[in-house]
Amino acid sequence: MRKIILLLTFILFAFINAKSQVDYKYLKENFKNPDAIYGVNCWWWWLNGNVNKAAITKDLEAMKSKSFQGAMIFDAGGHNQRSNKEIPAGPLFGSEEWNKLFVFALDEAKRLGLTIGFNIQSGWNLGGPRVAPKYAAKQLTYTETKIEGEQKISLQLEVPESRKGFYEDIVVLALPLDEKNKTDKSITNLDLKLGFHELGGSAPDTRFLLDNNSQEIQTKDKETYILETNDIIDLSSFMNDAGQLNWDAPKGEWAILRIGYTCTDSEVSTSSGEWQGDVLDYMSKDAFDFYWKDVVEPIMGAAGDHVGTTLKYMETDSWECGGMNWTDDFAEDFKNYRGYDLINYLPIVAGYVIKDIKTSNAFLADLRKTIADLVAQNHYAQFQAYAHKYDMGVQPESAGPHAGPLDGIKNYGFNDIVMSEFWSPSPHRPNPENRFFLKQASSAAHIYGKKIIGAESFTTIGPHWNDEIWHDQKSSFDHEICAGLNRMYFHTFTCSPPEMGLPGQEYFAGTHINPQVTWWDQSSAFIDYMKRTQMIVQNGKFVADVLYYYGDHVPNVFPYKHSDPAGTMPGFDYDVTDENILLKLKMEDGKIVVPGGINYRVLVLPDHKVLSMAALKKIEELLQQGAHVIGFKPTRLVSLVGGEVEQDEFKELVDKIWGKDETPKGEQKYGKGEIAWGYTAKEYLLSKNIPTDFNVVESDSKVDFDYIHYKIGDSDVYFVTNQTEKRQKINVEFRVSGLQPELWDALTGEMKQATAFTQKEKLTTVPLTLEAYGAVFVIFNKEIDNNQQGTTEHNYADYNTTQNINGAWNVSFDTEWGGPANVIFPKLMDWTKHDDEGIKYYSGNAVYTKTFKVDFKISKDSQYFIQLENVQDVGIAEVKINGIDKGILWTKPFRVEISDALKKGENNLEITVINSWYNRVAGDEISNNNKKFTTTNIVLKHDFRGRPINEIPLEPSGLIGPVTIEKAVLK
């Protein structure tokens, strides 16, 4: 019955959706106040299980008050990492007591109309206390014994190193050690090539693993031999169960390798309470089946009718479980995937070279590719299949940025919501290339046809409470909107029971946002900005000219958008794809089309000159059908699939497409298409008279300005961001003509037609003025004549200072938090410079009041603004003038219109400024005063690594100004 109801609900939803298709009219009617489905989301941190019903209700009602779409319940530890304090332990994840709280949360979410998901693990990665070694992650291990032949050998072979009491044999091999086969060459980076380790946490370029090159690290210090597979003897049948080898050894020196597999040393990270244990074997269906039945099914059973309704999604976090390179049926799986037997290549694990370095590296590439195939099929595909049986979706962070043995885009094929992450600036990840990872996720969504592109958002390690919203969070959000983000998940929203005090318990990492933060009551302005932005971008069809194929090597995870390996930027945009999708590409009307329906003008190949045979054949097919392809002539396969026959076929087809001669740059027709090399994608498109889609005139900057382009119905929608701290005036060329440009501001919900624009040669140039880290939607919808031009020079006002509001201010602090009830500031100042410790260490609201006289003539036809300019530390203020509330300011230049309230003579100005908890917590740690105002597990007197520091630097706070009255000047 439940299945029938769900089916009817789905049909009804589909019918309603078809009748109310999102188009320009819908966007315009709902832009200022979007539906709740476009609201923000969060990782709802149940820290150490220490939650209760009061805290659950408090948090969910707070989320509802700020129009959240929902929350992802994430049970974890981490409260005491980096030298922070312990907090009480609550019910263990998955226990009866925990499940009761979980169901209560679902009941409350249903009452409030919120969607809930949950991480199916305490902490990450999957694993835990009941994961027996047979289900744990595995890796190769071996022992080596050298013998002299021409005798009968009776030898007890040493058991290879094993962990956690688990070891299984794979094979026993005899290797002939002939002096003439000694070599001084070795396979470098061998442990990495074998998949024993991750390669780092910021989506590194891993193509160096295909070769021996300058990035290599010598990992073996021993004699190395080159072996032929035909000379290797399988002795497995000569060893009994006790490890006794009995063999009539031929003449010569031999190495006996006993090769098997054992558990890795990886354990669950950041889990709460007693939820410790081994990481699950991600290559094993049986392991995932065990985990699902043991851990997930009981939680789903407890959730009852909430499953598939209020409870909609399941999550697992990013791969951070090191390497793994074997599983029970790996040898058989390898043969099924790669088409040849790997047994006689296994001596490579001991540093031997099989045939030559090139062949050995090719085998290792096949090995890693098989690991990635098994991770995708036996873990992530299995996860999705189980979830769909419950009418639920999955949103694992299954594609990095940690470079485990993954094919990121292949894994994303099994996501219902495609998830990644991005960070606010912090000491742990200060640079863009270490903070932004959305491009791979959005590309996957585009090429698979998935709607929601989510991200764990604003992660930090180091700062606590004091991130500047406009500088750290807005800039990062806008940056990733341009990379394809369309739903952010606050990382992190920690649940803190009321009895934990304020600011309460917090995770060691992440930007803290929850009802305990000082600025929660004012957070709606920031949240509404993101909600309006998400409404637009969730309904768009991405527009790009370039599809970049990033190869089939493993690990295969893509870095941030501005890495731009195809040379597309600035001016054009691109998606990335893997071999899985490359093989499914089609040609329609001269464009390259992905399964998700998006089309591109050109396909770009990676520059390492390596392709698989399947990829090469597909490229030849696309060229025959009219594709434009950019890529240097491939030099080789890095695979043993197909043997020497395929190697010869590969060379013939490469010569057929590119020709036998090699030049640094060129292009030639092939079939109905064209192959080119030595061009960036931008150079090539411009050479074909394709104008840039977005061009900041007279600027070649890749980073100062960014954009993303969508089609929504017949409308062209561009999101444009200024990624600098300065107000910028720019002229932007858009590849649109015959349509009236409109300017939609997600800060305010204001929409207006652009009065300044020019049309020429099928391009429309629009002058924009963007404040510090400002952004705007430029929307083209209404048809106009192609020769129509704008009627003004500028679309935005300039601002002239009409009056400085100088002199003393009366400031009121909350005495409950240690501040004075009333104090006079002779001039605006940083609170931390004040002699009064109640001000110096104050956190919370402070109300500035001042009576001032307007000393200029007020014109009814003019617009006047209060500008605060500089508000520290999180940067939030509320303004009232003459009793009229002018709203919340949270981003530069902290300006708001006061035309309707300003009057000649005396005016009363009230500015409420809110800073973070940081200084009050610091003061409680620093001060000798016995009275402590705050309660928290966070300890500020250490650096982001947890090392002690001598003093806590305070965070500049308060209204710094200058405060001015500005008059808008329109031209």
Query: Parallel, antiparallel, or unpaired: how do β-strands 70-76 and 41-47 relate?
Result: parallel
At position 923, the amino acid (one-letter code) is G
Signed CA dihedral, 209, 211, 217, 219: sign only:
positive
Mean pLDDT computed over 627-648: 95
pLDDT > 60? residue 325:
yes
Residue tagged 């080898």 (tokens): 245
- Indicate the range of 240-249, 354-363, 510-519, 942-951 predicted with least confidence: 942-951
Q: Which residues pair with 166 in a beta bridge?
A: 163
Nearest CA-CA partner of 711 in 753, 739, 670: 739
- Indicate the range of 11-20, 54-63, 644-653, 935-944 predicted with least confidence: 11-20
pLDDT > 50? residue 1:
no
- Average pLDDT over the chain reads 95
pTM of the model: 0.96
Close Cβ partners of 155 (under 8 Å, ≥ 6 residues apart) = 145, 147, 244, 245, 256
Give per-residue pLDDT as tens, 158-192: 999 999 999 999 999 999 999 999 998 899 999 99
Question: Which pLDDT score is estimated for 889?
Answer: 98
What is the token pair recorded at 77? 């530890």
Give per-residue pLDDT as tens, 570-590: 999 999 999 999 999 999 999
Give the separation between CA 676 and CA 657, rounded to whole angstroms. Answer: 10
Close Cβ partners of 211 (under 8 Å, ≥ 6 residues apart) = 361
Close Cβ partners of 8 (under 8 Å, ≥ 6 residues apart) = none
Number of H helices, E strands in the chain: 20, 52
Signed CA dihedral, 804, 807, 810, 814: sign only:
positive
- What is the pLDDT confidence band of residue 354, given thresholds at 50, 70 and 90? very high
Close Cβ partners of 724 (under 8 Å, ≥ 6 residues apart) = 704, 772, 773
Mean pLDDT computed over 198-222: 78
The SS3 of residue 312 is: strand
Question: Which pLDDT score is estimated for 703?
Answer: 78
What is the token pair recorded at 877? 């203020």
Give the separation between CA 913 and CA 871, rounded to whole angstroms. Answer: 8
| 8 A C-beta contact, residue 86 and residue 939 | no
Distance of CA 423 to the CA centre of its chain: 8
Question: Which pLDDT score is estimated for 6?
Answer: 43
Rg (CA), the chain: 31
Signed CA dihedral, 445, 448, 449, 450: sign only:
negative
Is the backbone peptide bond immediately before 503 cis, with ω within 30 degrees of 0? yes
Mean pLDDT computed over 441-470: 97
- What is the pLDDT confidence band of residue 928, given thresholds at 50, 70 and 90? confident
CA dist list (Å): 278 to 46, 124, 133? 22, 11, 8
Percent of the chain having pLDDT more than 70?
A: 97
Nearest CA-CA partner of 486 in 523, 524, 525, 450: 450
Question: Which pLDDT score is estimated for 200?
Answer: 87
Residue tagged 């939609």 (tokens): 744
Nearest CA-CA partner of 386 in 474, 289, 513, 315: 289
| 8 A C-beta contact, residue 962 and residue 869 | yes
Give the separation between CA 83 and CA 572, rounded to whole angstroms. Answer: 46
Q: At what angle do helices 643-658 and 613-624 cross, to 10 degrees?
A: 30
Q: Which residues pair with 489 in a beta bridge?
A: 41, 456
The SS3 of residue 334 is: helix
Residue tagged 């990095």 (tokens): 400
Residue tagged 């001016």 (tokens): 571
Question: Which pLDDT score is estimated for 19?
Answer: 38
**How many residues in total does the chain contain?**
971
pLDDT > 80? residue 806:
yes
Give the separation between CA 204 and CA 403, rounded to whole angstroms. Answer: 7
Nearest CA-CA partner of 554 in 367, 685, 709, 721: 367
Mean pLDDT computed over 230-258: 97
Mean pLDDT computed over 939-946: 94
Query: Parallel, antiparallel, or unpaired: how do β-strands 715-722 and 775-783 relate?
Result: antiparallel
Strand spans (E) along 700-738: 705-712, 715-722, 728-734
Question: Which pLDDT score is estimated for 700?
Answer: 67
Mean pLDDT computed over 469-491: 98
| 8 A C-beta contact, residue 576 and residue 443 | yes
Nearest CA-CA partner of 568 in 705, 443, 682: 682
The DSSP secondary-structure symbol of 634 reads P
- DSSP codes, 906-931: EEEEEEEEE--SHHHHHHHHH---S-
Residue 10 class from Cβ within 10 Å (0-12 exposed, 13-18 middle, 19+ buried)?
A: exposed
Count CA within 13 A, CB hemisphere, residue 151: 9
Distance of CA 166 to the CA centre of its chain: 36
Q: Which residues pair with 423 in a beta bridge?
A: 459
Phi-psi region of 234 (alpha: psi -120 to 50; beta: other; left: phi over 0): beta
Mean pLDDT computed over 716-736: 97
The DSSP secondary-structure symbol of 380 reads I
Give the separation between CA 523 and CA 888, rounded to whole angstroms. Answer: 9
Give the separation between CA 614 and CA 622, rounded to whole angstroms. Answer: 12
Question: Which pLDDT score is estimated for 716?
Answer: 98
Nearest CA-CA partner of 570 in 418, 692, 420, 689: 692
Q: In what order do the strands lie in the sheet with 628-630?
A: 574-577, 546-549, 602-604, 628-630, 673-677, 666-670
At position 508, the amino acid (one-letter code) is F
Nearest CA-CA partner of 227 in 187, 188, 177, 184: 177
Give the separation between CA 133 and CA 165, rounded to whole angstroms. Answer: 8
Between the CA atoms of 920, 922, 924 and 928, what dihedral angle is there, to the nearest 10 degrees? -130
The angle subtended at Cα 510 by Cα 504 and Cα 515, nearest 5°, is 40
pLDDT > 80? residue 658:
yes
Give per-residue pLDDT as tens, 272-303: 999 999 999 999 999 999 999 999 999 999 99
The angle subtended at Cα 260 by Cα 259 and Cα 263, nearest 5°, is 140
Residue 622 class from Cβ within 10 Å (0-12 exposed, 13-18 middle, 19+ buried)?
A: buried
| 8 A C-beta contact, residue 511 and residue 458 | yes
| 8 A C-beta contact, residue 343 and residue 234 | yes
- What is the pLDDT confidence band of residue 46, given thresholds at 50, 70 and 90? very high
Give per-residue pLDDT as tens, 410-455: 999 999 999 999 999 999 999 999 999 999 999 999 999 999 999 9
Give the separation between CA 605 and CA 207, rounded to whole angstroms. Answer: 14
Give per-residue pLDDT as tens, 78-133: 999 999 999 999 999 999 999 999 999 999 999 999 999 999 999 988 999 999 99
Query: Parallel, antiparallel, or unpaired: how do β-strands 884-889 and 151-156 relate?
Result: unpaired
pLDDT > 60? residue 4:
no
Question: Which pLDDT score is estimated for 221?
Answer: 59
Q: At what angle do helices 96-112 and 53-65 cross, to 10 degrees?
A: 30
Strand spans (E) along 640-774: 666-670, 673-677, 694-696, 705-712, 715-722, 728-734, 739-745, 750-753, 758-760, 763-770
Give per-residue pLDDT as tens, 681-717: 999 999 999 999 999 997 767 679 999 999 999 999 9
At position 393, the amino acid (one-letter code) is G
Give per-residue pLDDT as tens, 9-28: 444 444 334 334 789 999 99
Give the separation between CA 347 and CA 470, rounded to whole angstroms. Answer: 56
Mean pLDDT computed over 357-376: 98
Give the separation between CA 672 and CA 690, rounded to whole angstroms. Answer: 19
